[in-house]
Amino acid sequence: MTEKTKQAEDGATMESRVRDSFERQGLMRHLGAVIASVAPGMVHIRMPYRQELTQQHGFFHAGATSAIADSAGGYAGFTLFPPGSSVLTVEFKINLMAPARGEYLEAVGKVIRSGRTLTICQLEVFGVTGEERTLVAMGQQTLICMHGKPDSLSAQA
Mean pLDDT of 71-77: 99
d(CA 115, CA 94): 22
Q: What's the whole-model pTM score? A: 0.91
Residue 152's pLDDT is 76
Residue 153's pLDDT is what? 63
Number of domains in the chain: 1
Per-residue pLDDT for 84 more than 70? yes
Residue 125 has pLDDT above 70, yes or no: yes
Q: Torsions phi, psi of 55, nearest 5?
A: -100, -170
**Residue 56: domain span:** 3-156
- Cβ contact 147:110 at 8 Å: no
43 vs 101: CA distance, rounded Å: 21
Q: What is the pLDDT of residues 3-24, one digit of tens each?
A: 443 344 478 899 999 999 999 9
CATH assignment at residue 93 = 3.10.129.10
